Amino acid sequence: MDNSIFAATLNSISAHVAVLNEAGEIIYVNEAWKRFADNNSLRASNYGVGTSYLNVCDTDEGTSPLSGWFARLIDDRRGEFRLDYPCHSPTEKRWFQMRVTCFESKGQLYIVVVHENISEIKIAEELLLQTRDELATVNRTLRQTMSETISALARAIEQRDPYTDGHQKRVSLLATAIARRLGHDENFVTGVEFGSLLHDIGKIHIPAEILSNPRRLSEIEHTLVRTHAQSGFEILKDSHFPWPLAEMIYQHHEKLDGSGYPRHLLAEQILPEARIIAVADVTEAISSHRPYRPALGTDMALKELQTNRGKLYDAAACDACIEILTENPDFWDRENVRR
């Protein structure tokens, strides 16, 4: 191919191309380079051919890395570097990418400087970032709304059962503290929080007189109360939460050895979230008063966990719970939840 074909090729592309000699002087510019200079009132004599391009790049009071990059390219006589930069006109937001490479011919080093308009990519990136921020805001609002709705639902359930008022909130505080101490991520912790807040939602089907009965329940009443795990599952099973809340509720009375209810699941069949809720639930239930007995206290609850860790209750969750309540004997008081 002769030189005219090379020149025609360079003139046919949209990128602005200049070729420099080893001293950094512009020895060639393509048509796109000239058009850009014409359209932006940048036209120096002969479009800068014969002048030092390195001087043009060295105008940022030494803050631009370009001079150093050029020097290294010339020293190494090989390599490449790129720089994205804004170049807004009074009427238009524009970004360019400068790409600099070099080659040798007959012992001479030539440097190729290409400026390409990347405004469409940059605008798309800006839009993407903006959309991501908007989605994050919507997501935060949705989470907040979900949290408030679930808390309201939890309070509504407990209003029917004043003796256990605040039980689900207290279980939720302890269960989330256990989940965090076990090293679970915040998404898992949020699932545990919401599952705990609703774990007794199925009690909405149990007559209030039974729930607040000040004497020990009969076997028939006990059997009825035990249906709340499955009832809770039925209430939530068709809701599309991003956590298995219905299943957590279904499993919160299961025990590792299969002696729990309603399905007598074994350890490996019980969700980690449900195992944590079970530990928080039994701890809170023993610590607090019940219609048929006074509070047995935190020490009694910790004794239950120590006796049955790994037998009835998840050992790691028990250990975490024991640590939390040993370090903070006034855990629930500090959280300011009514008992």
Q: Report how far apart, in Å, the C-alpha atoms of 104 and of each of 22, 107, 235, 281 are.
A: 10, 6, 75, 76
Task: Output the smallest distance, CB 228 to Fe ion, in A.
Answer: 6
Q: Is 158 in the site for Fe ion (CB under 5 A)?
A: no
Rg (CA), the chain: 35
DSSP-assigned letter for residue 290: B
Task: Output the smallest distance, CB 232 to Fe ion, in A.
Answer: 8
Q: Which is nearer to Fe ion, 19 or 171 (CB)?
A: 171
Task: Output the smallest distance, CB 156 to Fe ion, in A.
Answer: 16
Q: Which is nearer to Fe ion, 115 or 203 (CB)?
A: 203
**How many angstroms from the chain centroid is the CA of residue 192?**
17
Q: Which is nearer to Fe ion, 66 or 175 (CB)?
A: 175
CA 174 – CA 164 distance, rounded (Å): 16
Binders of Fe ion among 2-21, rule CB under 5 A?
A: none
Q: Which residues contact 277 (CB under 8 A, 6 or more apart)?
A: 171, 175, 192, 195, 196, 199, 248, 252
Task: Output the smallest distance, CB 316 to Fe ion, in A.
Answer: 22
Instruction: Tell me the number of residues near Fe ion by CB under 5 A.
Output: 1
- Strand-by-strand arrangement of the 108-117 sheet: 26-29, 16-20, 108-117, 95-105, 80-86
Binders of Fe ion among 200-239, rule CB under 5 A?
A: 200
Task: Output the smallest distance, CB 252 to Fe ion, in A.
Answer: 6
Contact indicator for 118, 96 with CB cutoff of 8 Å: yes
Q: Which is nearer to Fe ion, 200 or 304 (CB)?
A: 200
Q: Is the dihedral of CA 232, 285, 253, 224 positive or negative?
A: negative
Binders of Fe ion among 182-201, rule CB under 5 A?
A: 200
Q: Is 31 exposed, middle or buried (0-12, 13-18, 19+ CB in 10 A)?
A: middle
- Using Cβ positions, the residue closest to Fe ion within the complex turns out to be 200
Q: Which is nearer to Fe ion, 193 or 200 (CB)?
A: 200
Binders of Fe ion among 297-336, rule CB under 5 A?
A: none
Q: Which is nearer to Fe ion, 116 or 200 (CB)?
A: 200
Q: Which is nearer to Fe ion, 203 or 309 (CB)?
A: 203
CA 227 – CA 210 distance, rounded (Å): 13
Following CA atoms 119, 120, 121, 123 in sequence, which dihedral angle do they give, to the nearest 10 degrees?
80
Query: Which amino acid, one-letter code, is at 192?
Result: V
Binders of Fe ion among 24-53, rule CB under 5 A?
A: none
**Site residues (vs Fe ion, CB under 5 A):** 200
